[in-house]
Amino acid sequence: MSELAGTQAGDELFGLPPEAFVAARDDLARRLRREGEAEAARRVKALRRPPLSAWVVNQLARERGPGLGRLLAAGERLRAANAAALAGEGADELRAAAKAERVAVAGLVRSAMELLGEAGHPTTDATRARVAATLHAASASPEAAELVRGGRLTADLDPSGFGAATEDGDRAAAEEDPVARRAARAAAVAARDDARKRARLAADQAVLATRHAERLGRLADQAEREADRARATASAAIEAASAARGRATRAAKDLREAEDRVPADH
């Protein structure tokens, strides 16, 4: 198998359900090694299973739908508008480009959540936020756009790592779309509340587990005491049985002696 063929086979891994990724990756790496493609096998084995948020962005890219193309085009427009804003011109275009980019991201996030639901995966606010962050990164940078377009993400992308909008652009976006700002805050609050619920649940489970362990300890102590009493009762019964056997033996001896003393009847 050539290196190109190995890469193409590796691409297929990213179209699989997340739960099938690791087993399929390891099987492919073994097959490549058997065929003498040690370097390709090493690269495949090093691939990490994408988190759900990255996996679903990969599926958006692999479906080749129009939504991703619109996002990347909106990203190019926004980058050009940012450059113009830095030169002190094009404020209206910056606002329009920022709005177009947000609309494109929102549409793709909805599509991503639908894909996750259809595949039987949870659609949490945290996953939604990570998907949106990766899509914003794709619109902010040509490098990130290529990563997303390739459909082989193994991790989420951070927009701050690929460039960001200007301060004027950020302010324009906030003024243009306060609903988006409230939605972002709501998502953060929901994630915080979810973390609090998990922490409370873990604490409650720890208390219940401790109580259960203490109850089992008390039952074990009680069982040990009952076993000691049972052993004492059994020991007394054994001693009583031994004494009874002794008495029976003596009684039998006395009987024989009594019978021997009875004179014969002539």
Would you list the DSSP string of 79-110?
A: HHHHHHHHTT--HHHHHHHHHHHHHHHHHHHH
Tell me the C-alpha distance between 177 and 171, whole Å: 10
pLDDT band at 172 (very low <50, low <70, confident <90, very high): very low
Tell me the C-alpha distance between 225 and 76, whole Å: 79
Q: Tell me the two tokens of residue 50.
A: 């994408």
pLDDT digits (tens, 9 = 90+) for 61-74: 988 778 899 999 99
The one-letter amino acid at 1: M
Cα distances (Å, whole numbers) of residue 9 to 14, 36, 117: 10, 15, 27
> pLDDT at residue 148 above 90?
yes
| pLDDT the model gives residue 59 | 94
Please classify residue 263 by burial: count the beta carbons closer than 10 Å to its beta carbon, then call 0-12 exposed, 13-18 middle and 19+ buried: exposed
Residue closest to 121 by CA, chosen among 26, 198, 52, 212 = 52
Q: What is the pTM of this model?
A: 0.58
Residue 155: DSSP 8-state: S
pLDDT digits (tens, 9 = 90+) for 9-45: 678 899 899 999 999 999 999 999 999 988 888 989 9
